[in-house]
């Protein structure tokens, strides 16, 4: 799964990388993006705009938005058949920009003689930002309140991720990003994009358990941690 990630870029670099101008008033660097927060996405209905949607998909037909907190991820293998995702897969795809993501590996710690969940930060070897493949939806309450939300698609792990977790987020190659959000593309023709990203282009390192709390959201989150910080 993918339950935390980072998106920490300067405004000028967002413009350079994604072709989108942002205002500091609505964007700030995030080192610990967490479910239920409003986070940056590039949706297929406005590909030149950075929008802020709630992480945790709320399907348009839901009676209660509370269930969205459980739908932070969507399995690539079943997108076309799951009621929560199939319509969004056809019509409402998005890019979720990121500079890294976190995953927890369960290990036996010999010094304390028990199992621990050790957090890792995973990103590109060259430090470049990237995009997850995502889906979004629009939910309207009985009182007319509108809520936009998104989910991140996951797939099987690559060789880097296999020792850490049995799933990983779908990371799109840069040349495939516009294809993913193109209104001209049928969802049936996009299955080839939903695969593990090449392991040789990525790296992972242990970080401290500061990342466990959404309240911690500074650059110290991504620092490499020795065992004593676990």
Domains of the chain, earliest start first: 4-229 (3.90.1680.10)
Mean pLDDT of 144-150: 93
pLDDT > 90: percent of the chain: 74
Residue 103 designated active-site: yes
Q: Which residues contact 174 (CB under 8 A, 6 or more apart)?
A: 130
Full-model pTM: 0.93
pLDDT for res 88 = 95
Q: Return phi, psi of residue 65, to 5°.
A: -70, -10
Spot the catalytic one: 10, 16, 81, 103.
103
By the 10 Å C-beta count (0-12 exposed, 13-18 middle, 19+ buried), 3 is classed as: middle
CA distances from 222 to 102, 107, 122, 210 (A): 9, 20, 9, 9
Q: Give the CB-side neighbour count of residue 180, counting CA atoms within 13 A.
A: 25
Beta partners for 205?
A: 121
Average pLDDT, the chain: 91
Give the tens place of pLDDT for each residue, 69-120: 789 999 999 999 999 999 999 999 999 999 999 999 987 555 544 577 899 9
Residue 131 designated active-site: no
Say how far apart CA 100 and CA 89 lie, in whole Å. 24
Spot the catalytic one: 2, 33, 94, 131.
2
pLDDT for res 204 = 96
């Amino acid at each position: 799964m993918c339950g935390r990630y980072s998106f920490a870029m300067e405004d000028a670099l967002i413009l350079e990388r994604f072709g989108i101008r942002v205002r500091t008033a609505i964007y700030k660097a995030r080192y610990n993006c967490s479910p239920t927060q409003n986070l940056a996405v590039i949706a297929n209905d406005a590909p030149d705009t950075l929008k802020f949607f709630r992480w945790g998909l709320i399907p348009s037909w839901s009676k209660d938005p509370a269930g969205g907190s459980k739908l932070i991820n969507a399995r690539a293998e079943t997108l076309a058949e799951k009621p929560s995702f199939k319509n969004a897969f056809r019509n409402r795809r998005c890019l979720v920009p990121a500079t890294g993501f976190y995953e927890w590996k369960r290990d036996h710690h010999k010094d304390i003689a028990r199992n621990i969940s050790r957090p890792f930060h995973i990103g590109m070897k060259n430090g470049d930002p990237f995009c997850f493949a995502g889906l979004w939806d629009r939910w309207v309450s009985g009182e007319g309140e509108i809520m936009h939300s998104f989910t991140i698609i996951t797939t099987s792990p690559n060789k880097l991720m296999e020792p850490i977790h049995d799933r990983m987020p779908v990371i799109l190659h840069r040349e495939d990003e516009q294809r993913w959000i193109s209104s001209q593309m049928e969802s049936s023709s996009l299955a080839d994009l939903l695969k593990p990203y090449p392991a040789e282009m990525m790296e992972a390192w242990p970080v401290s358990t500061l990342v466990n709390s959404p309240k911690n959201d500074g650059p110290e989150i991504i620092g490499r941690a020795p065992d004593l910080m676990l």
